Amino acid sequence: MNAMEVRDQDVLFWELAHHLVAKNGFQAVHVTNDRKQLWLEKETDKEQFLLSLSKIDMAWSRGLGQLMKDNARQFQSIKRGSPRKATVYHNLYITSMAPADDWKSKTRDIIYTDAARRKPMQTWLFSASVGAQHGDDIEKFLGLLHAEENWPSKEEMLDDDEDSRAQKTAHQRQRIIRNIEREQEEAVKVFTYGKSRFTYVLLALILMIFVWMESVADSTDVLALIDFGAKYNPLIDDGEWWRIFTSMFLHIGIFHLFMNSLALLFLGTAVERIFGTSRFIWIYLVAGIVGSTASYAFTEQVSAGASGAIFGCFGALVFFGISHPRLFFRTIGRSVIIILLINVIFGTVVPMVDNGAHMGGLVGGFLAAATVGMPDKTYKLKQLGVIPAIALLTVLLFAYGYYGEGNDPAEPIVQIQMAQELMEEEAYDEAYDTMASVIEETDMLEAYFVIGNAAFGLEDYEEARDYYHEALDENPDFHEAAYNLALVYAEEGEEEQAREYAERALEIEPDNEQYEDLLEDL
């Protein structure tokens, strides 16, 4: 190989790169340190092209197949743009002289870039030498890309003297590399606009509130959650609207705290770095409030947690994706979308997840991000028009929760749980009052059983007996009701009746030691 052939190879490599980038809309996305491999891409309305342009030299084609397989793997490591469009992969080799043997039998092999064999990679070899061993027709390749126009002939490329060719090639190389560096600098600038200070303040605040709550109560106790400011619809209806805000900082148990803290650590720091601290505070609070209001509108359960605000971070990242689609999908886009979809599906199929808060926070976060915009974009006054939309959404959600029937409980699960916790504290009168407020509006057997327990605790055995009978009549296999009836009759001195229901409970639930002990005592 002589020096002239090396220069010709360099000329062809950078001339082709410059032709695709400067004249045909391709984007240079990566170049290796040795400047021997360049990645190009272009997205159209229907598809996107991803090209690997490499300088290689080999006298024989032995080893070419392995190079092609390596490049196929590299294609998968390059994150592409929109996942909705089909990607066309081209693997280009620029050689100073084509291999002397039958290299075309190798380059014509279809190499797939995925295990499902749905994404084929086509390989081309272009020779820079003017001799017997010609490479593929470069104009034929450019024709597939609709980029053949104004492509110079080999004679035109080599027409200038050596110094002029060297200067032109250097200029083309520097221009393309500078474009790559500029894009990388812009990406770094976008992802490092702010510093993740407020996220850590939030994490510390949430942790301190959790430790404080655990030190004086149990964070899984419904009554304690309500006392500390959890979202509880009846009290919000009575005017305690501030619960929509305070519930954002409470968590139900250590696992809930851990999962939300982990999500906030990753999502919050990302959003704060991209949008800056002041914008992040606005996004977080708006998303949290809209999410809590949506929970009030659609969920009767007592709820707490930062999930609504965290989903607001998802919403902000979606807005970032719309503002910078190419950068979004080349960096965090696919991960964000996959995690978001998993969370939405999980929230839909798992009954105890407050999906109303999640979806409300997602929409709220997106709208809040739209009001402040991206830091690198020119702010437009029309963005302020989104603020009334946020206010209107919040008011409509609150009105639906207050006046609508969509959040009225079909089953008084919250009241049952509260009554059980009150009875554990021997506050039987409060437990009874809690269940009395809903007992006439439900056919739930557990409700009759629980109010019967409250009446039993108040030593109102007649009323307790009536509620137990009602539950047992509706469900003859309700062995707990049969057992409690045995206790009631025992308290009233009706030993025969007590024995009958103790036997019935044991018949339904054999080998229950508690039932056996009662029957033995009777």
Virtual CA dihedral for 286, 287, 288, 293, nearest 10 degrees?
90
What are the pLDDT digits (tens) for 192-219? 999 999 999 999 999 999 999 999 988 9
**Pair (76, 96) in one structural domain:** yes
Give the domain range for residue 344. Answer: 198-403
Decide if 165 is inside a domain.
yes
Q: Say how many C-beta atoms besides its own lie within 10 A of residue 341's C-beta.
A: 10
With a cut of 70, say whether residue 4 has pLDDT above it: no
pLDDT at 229: 93
pLDDT at 373: 92
With a cut of 70, say whether residue 134 has pLDDT above it: no
What are the pLDDT digits (tens) for 300-324? 888 999 999 999 999 999 999 999 9
Nearest to 468 by CA among 479, 426, 457: 479
Decide if 223 is inside a domain.
yes
Is pTM beyond 0.85 here?
no
What are the pLDDT digits (tens) for 453-483? 888 888 888 888 888 888 888 888 888 888 8
Percentage of the residues of the chain whose pLDDT score is greater than 70: 94
CB 298 within 8 A of CB 313: no
pLDDT band at 393 (very low <50, low <70, confident <90, very high): very high
What are the pLDDT digits (tens) for 368-392? 999 999 998 877 777 888 999 999 9
Query: Furthest-apart CA pair in the chain: how many Å?
Result: 119
- SS3 labels along 293-345: HHHHHHCCCCECCCHHHHHHHHHHHHHHHHHCHHHHHHCCHHHHHHHHHHHHH
pLDDT band at 132 (very low <50, low <70, confident <90, very high): very low
Decide if 408 is inside a domain.
no
What are the pLDDT digits (tens) for 400-422? 988 876 555 555 777 888 888 88
**Pair (468, 508) in one structural domain:** yes
With a cut of 70, say whether residue 3 has pLDDT above it: no
With a cut of 80, say whether residue 161 has pLDDT above it: no
Long-range contacts of 317-322 (CB under 8 A, 24+ apart): 317/267, 317/270, 317/271, 317/274, 318/362, 318/366, 319/365, 319/366, 319/369, 319/370, 319/374, 320/274, 320/275, 320/369, 320/374
**Pair (172, 39) in one structural domain:** yes
Rounded mean pLDDT, 316-342: 89
Residue 196 structure tokens: 């993740």
Last residue of a domain, one of 190, 215, 235: 190
Residue 239 structure tokens: 């005017």
Rounded mean pLDDT, 341-363: 84
Alpha carbons 189 and 202: distance in angstroms, whole number:
25
With a cut of 50, say whether residue 127 has pLDDT above it: yes
Strands 86-95 vs 120-127: parallel, antiparallel or unpaired: parallel
Last residue of a domain, one of 403, 422, 449: 403
**Pair (367, 514) in one structural domain:** no
pLDDT band at 275 (very low <50, low <70, confident <90, very high): very high
Last residue of a domain, one of 152, 167, 190: 190
**Pair (151, 172) in one structural domain:** yes
Higher pLDDT, 177 or 404: 177
Q: Which of 57-61, 134-138, 161-165 has the lowest mean pLDDT?
A: 134-138
Beta bridge partners of 110: none
Nearest to 165 by CA among 6, 56, 24, 1: 6
pLDDT band at 1 (very low <50, low <70, confident <90, very high): very low
Residue 390 structure tokens: 């946020």
Decide if 14 is inside a domain.
yes
Long-range contacts of 439-444 (CB under 8 A, 24+ apart): 441/412, 442/410, 442/411, 442/412, 443/474, 444/411, 444/412, 444/416
Percentage of the residues of the chain whose pLDDT score is greater than 90: 37
Q: Which of 80-89, 164-173, 291-300, 430-439 has the lowest mean pLDDT?
A: 80-89
What are the pLDDT digits (tens) for 220-259? 888 889 889 999 888 898 899 999 999 999 999 999 999 9
Could you tell me the CATH number of the domain that includes residue 10? 3.40.91
**Pair (243, 186) in one structural domain:** no
pLDDT at 131: 45
pLDDT at 199: 96
With a cut of 50, say whether residue 177 has pLDDT above it: yes
**Pair (257, 273) in one structural domain:** yes
How many domains in the chain?
A: 3
pLDDT at 333: 85
Average pLDDT of the chain, as a whole number: 86
With a cut of 90, say whether residue 397 has pLDDT above it: yes
With a cut of 90, say whether residue 36 has pLDDT above it: yes
